[in-house]
Amino acid sequence: MTHKMNLNPSPFENIRNGTKTIELRLYDEKRRKIKIGDTIIFTNNNSNDETLEVKVVGLHIFDSFEALYDKLPLLKCGYNEQTVQTAAPKDMEAYYSRERQQEYGVVGIEIGRL
């Protein structure tokens, strides 16, 4: 199955250059349909013509971003050596409210390039 998701330019580039291999998302109805082996087509929010096609190689499901941040390697989640020192689960509140996180849980979608 193929899924479509949008990404801001920075995470899009990090996936393209291979430094980001885990995409963090709310584990809502849309993400619950994702299975290992599926394909995701990411579209750059700044350029609808720019896409990346990746394969899902792992799913890491947690009750909260607190639990996810405690278990997953943040350097694979879009942080770098400079930003990982201040990485915090509340960073994800810019995208998903605490209420929605509590309602659905969260997922780290591990990806590989095709």
Query: Residue 48: what pLDDT?
Result: 82
DSSP code, position 105: -
From the DSSP assignment, how many helices (H) and strands (E) are in the chain? 4, 5
Q: Which bin fits 22, alpha (ψ -120 to 50), beta or left (φ > 0)?
A: beta
- Contact of 68 with 45, CB cutoff 8 Å: no
**SS3 of residue 8 by DSSP:** coil
Place of tokens 């929605």: 100
Query: Residue 114: what pLDDT?
Result: 81
CATH number of the structural domain 2-113:
2.30.130.30
- Contact of 54 with 111, CB cutoff 8 Å: yes
Percent of the chain with pLDDT over 70: 100
Burial of 92 (0-12, 13-18, 19+ CB in 10 A): buried
Mean pLDDT for the chain? 96
Q: How do the domains of the chain map onto residue ranges?
A: 2-113
Q: How confident is the model at residue 32 (pLDDT cuts 50, 70, 90)?
A: very high
- Predicted confidence (pLDDT) at residue 22 exceeds the cutoff of 90: yes
